[in-house]
């Protein structure tokens, strides 16, 4: 009787699951539930990020400050007498930069003034000749009817009057030419003193005291730091919704995230950097590989923020465009 009872107990115990298996199954279910919750939360977070941030902003760290640099060049030939500025010096519009020796220009001006005076004297003489010839012609015409003056003599007097008028016109042209030369000499003399064309900072000063400069020779540059802008190179796939007039927030590596600059999209470049390269890429080849291009976007900065936190040309910036801002 004992053996059948023991066999029955072993069969019942084998049919019932063990307690450790139940715990393991519950643990697996809990882990799967946690995984599902994590995936759901990640999906919800991604959806919320795309709705609130991803679909609203595009950003790039491939952005740099730039400015319309004023290149100061020489307009005349001559030695440099004075250089009043150095690199990194701030200047205002109209401040003295360079003085060129004006001895030759002053001599040229005096000579031009003398030529003008001589031309004016010749014009006076030619005008007097025209008046005399006109009076003589009227007298001869009055005597033609009485026969006191022949036709040949009258013709000769008329030719003389015409020649006098031609001489007067030539004298007037000479006066105009001499006056133009005086003006040119005066402009050349004024160009011996070179002043700053804009407010900014002196950069790339090449001129030296005593150096003989030539026309169109670059002397230095003035960077208008108050009129700087940013060239942000966005990927072409980021520009679908970017429009002129949208607001931009920028952060410079110079000041860090503590200082935020605000600007506006001013416009887009006419082509990518690769298109305007010295040796542009030729894609009509067998070994062509598509590369995502970047298009420069010009961003106008707030002048008040530039005055409070000055920037320099070529500094790195991070630009973020708000796609939902008013355009």
CB-CB contact of 199 with 224 (8 Å): yes
In the prediction, which pLDDT does 47 show?
66
Q: What is the pLDDT along the chain (327 residues), one digit of tens a residue?
A: 455 555 545 554 555 556 777 777 777 777 777 888 888 778 777 666 666 665 688 999 999 999 999 999 999 999 999 999 999 999 999 999 999 999 999 999 999 999 999 888 888 887 776 666 665 556 555 555 555 555 555 555 555 566 667 777 777 888 899 999 999 999 999 999 999 999 999 999 999 999 999 999 999 999 998 899 999 999 999 998 899 999 999 999 999 999 999 999 999 998 888 888 877 777 776 777 788 899 999 999 999 999 899 999 999 999 999 988 865
Closest CA to 248 of 173, 324, 312, 140: 324
pLDDT of residue 319: 95
pLDDT for residue 163: 63
DSSP state of 18: P
- Per-residue pLDDT at 140: 56
57-67+224-322 topology per CATH: Elongation Factor Tu (Ef-tu); domain 3 (2.40.30)
pLDDT at position 1 = 45
Q: Which of 171, 198, 318 is nearest to 251 (CA)?
A: 318
Taking the C-alpha atoms of residue 286 and residue 171, their distance in angstroms, rounded to an integer, is 74
pLDDT value of position 273: 82
Residue where the block lists tokens 């407010």: 199
Closest CA to 131 of 156, 159, 165: 165
Beta bridge partners of 57: 322
Beta-bridged to residue 319, according to DSSP, are: 60, 250
Q: Tokens 């003389």, residue?
A: 160
> Distance of alpha carbon 73 from its chain centroid, rounded?
17
């Amino acid at each position: 009787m004992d053996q059948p009872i023991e066999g029955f107990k072993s069969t019942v115990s084998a049919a019932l699951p063990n307690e450790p298996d139940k715990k393991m199954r519950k643990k697996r279910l809990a882990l799967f539930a946690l995984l599902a919750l994590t995936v759901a939360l990640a999906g919800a977070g991604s959806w919320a990020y795309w709705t609130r941030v991803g679909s609203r902003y595009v950003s790039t760290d491939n952005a740099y400050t730039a400015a319309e640099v004023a290149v100061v060049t020489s307009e005349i030939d001559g030695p440099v007498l004075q250089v009043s500025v150095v690199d990194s010096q701030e200047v205002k519009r109209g401040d003295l930069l360079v003085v060129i020796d004006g001895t030759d220009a002053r001599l040229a001006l005096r000579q031009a003034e003398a030529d003008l005076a001589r031309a004016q004297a010749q014009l006076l003489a030619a005008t007097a000749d025209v008046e005399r010839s006109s009076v003589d012609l009227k007298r001869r015409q009055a005597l033609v009817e009485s026969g006191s003056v022949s036709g040949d003599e009258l013709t000769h007097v008329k030719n003389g009057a015409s020649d006098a008028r031609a001489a007067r016109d030539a004298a007037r042209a000479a006066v105009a030419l001499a006056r133009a030369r005086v003006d040119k000499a005066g402009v050349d003399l004024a160009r011996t003193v070179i002043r700053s064309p804009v407010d900014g900072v002196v950069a790339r000063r090449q001129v030296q005291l005593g150096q003989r400069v030539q026309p169109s020779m670059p002397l230095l540059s003035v960077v208008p730091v108050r009129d700087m802008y940013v060239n942000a190179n966005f990927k072409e796939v980021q520009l679908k919704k970017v429009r002129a007039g949208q607001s931009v927030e920028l952060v410079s590596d110079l000041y860090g995230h503590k200082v935020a600059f605000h600007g506006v999209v001013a416009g887009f470049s006419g082509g990518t950097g690769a298109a305007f390269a010295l040796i542009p890429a030729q894609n009509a080849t067998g070994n062509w590989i598509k590369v995502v291009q970047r298009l420069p976007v010009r961003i106008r900065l707030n002048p008040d923020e530039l005055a409070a936190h000055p920037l320099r040309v070529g500094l790195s910036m991070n630009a973020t465009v708000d796609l939902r801002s008013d355009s």
